[in-house]
């Protein structure tokens, strides 16, 4: 079934099933509202790469909460997420952020991008574009685009379409959640081709660090 926005919004009024918080605690009373999110973000927070709907699973809890607060107060402009977030209490936003942060959902299958495009993106991620004072993305987002803390969201395995959209929204001035405004500065330096290649690169990365092999364990 193809989820429709109207249907999803109708669900907002419905009280929901118990959900697990990030710490494994069962939330049996509101804010158990994750059923509202599943038509778009998927049952396990995997997102919908083909529609540019972001993956939420495994993103940092503080980051997710900051984004929900940002949709609610208009610092991050998105019509759908404004309606969703403004219907949630502060406690519900926190509980949902913890819930998705605790998920270790595998990456949905996507058609692999052209290897040359991915390689061009890997270069931007590693070294940026010195001719244009563009820092490498990895300086803030981590070498593998994973787990760089509350300020720098995980990019590994995020959908390319969504990453492209996010970078364009900074160019358009529609995203002002980070207090230092660093991403607007980064995005404004990126050409369309660079946006496409760096987005394809991050989509291609695994969503979790590989488990340590016996030899690599201390």
Annotated binding site for heme c: 37, 40-41, 81, 137, 140-141, 183
Contact status: 66 vs ligand HEC (CB under 6 A): yes
- 144/163 with CB nearer ligand HEC: 163
Query: What separation in angstroms does the CA of 23 have from each of 86, 89, 102?
Result: 25, 20, 7
Phi, psi of 34 (to 5 degrees): -65, -25
Residue of 22, 135, 146, 168 that binds ligand HEC (CB under 6 A)? 135
Residues 120-135 as b/e (b if ≥16 CB within 10 A, e otherwise) read bbbbbbeebeeeeebb
Give the one residue of 42, 178, 196, 205 binding ligand HEC; rule: CB under 6 A: 178
Q: Give yes or no for a contact between 47 and 155, defined as CB atoms under 8 angstroms apart.
A: no
Give the up-direction half-sphere exposure of residue 183: CA atoms within 13 A in the CB hemisphere: 23
Among 22-30, 79-87, 110-118, 208-216, which window interacts with ligand HEC (CB under 6 A)?
79-87
Q: Which two tokens stand for residue 57?
A: 């699973």
186 binds ligand HEC (CB under 6 A): yes
Q: Which listed range, 14-22, 49-57, 104-112, 207-215, lies at the site for ligand HEC (CB under 6 A)?
A: 49-57
Q: Which of 105, 198, 195 is nearest to 145 (CA)?
A: 198
Site for ligand HEC, rule CB under 6 A: 5, 8, 33, 36-37, 39-41, 53-54, 56, 59, 64, 66-68, 78, 80-81, 84, 96, 124, 135, 137, 139-141, 151-153, 155, 158, 163, 165-167, 169, 175, 177-178, 182-183, 186, 190, 198
């Amino acid at each position: 079934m193809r989820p429709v926005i109207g249907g999803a919004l109708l669900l907002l009024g419905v009280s929901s099933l118990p959900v697990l918080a990030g710490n494994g605690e069962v939330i049996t009373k509101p804010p158990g509202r994750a059923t509202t999110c599943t038509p778009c973000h998927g049952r396990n927070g995997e997102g919908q790469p083909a529609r540019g709907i972001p993956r939420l699973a495994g993103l940092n809890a503080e980051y997710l909460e900051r984004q929900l607060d940002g949709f609610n107060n208009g610092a991050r402009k998105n019509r759908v997420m404004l309606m969703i977030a403004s219907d949630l209490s502060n406690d519900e936003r926190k509980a949902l952020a913890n819930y998705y942060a605790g998920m270790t959902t595998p990456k949905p299958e996507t058609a692999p991008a052209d290897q040359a495009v991915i390689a061009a993106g890997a270069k931007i991620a590693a070294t940026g574009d010195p001719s244009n004072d563009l820092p490498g993305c990895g300086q803030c987002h981590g070498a593998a685009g994973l787990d760089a803390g509350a300020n720098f969201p995980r990019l590994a395995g995020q959908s390319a379409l969504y990453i492209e959209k996010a970078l364009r929204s900074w160019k358009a001035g529609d995203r002002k959640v980070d207090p230092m405004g660093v991403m607007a500065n980064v995005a404004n330096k990126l050409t369309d081709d660079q946006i496409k290649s760096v987005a394809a690169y991050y989509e291609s990365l695994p969503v979790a660090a590989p488990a340590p092999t016996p030899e690599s364990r201390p």
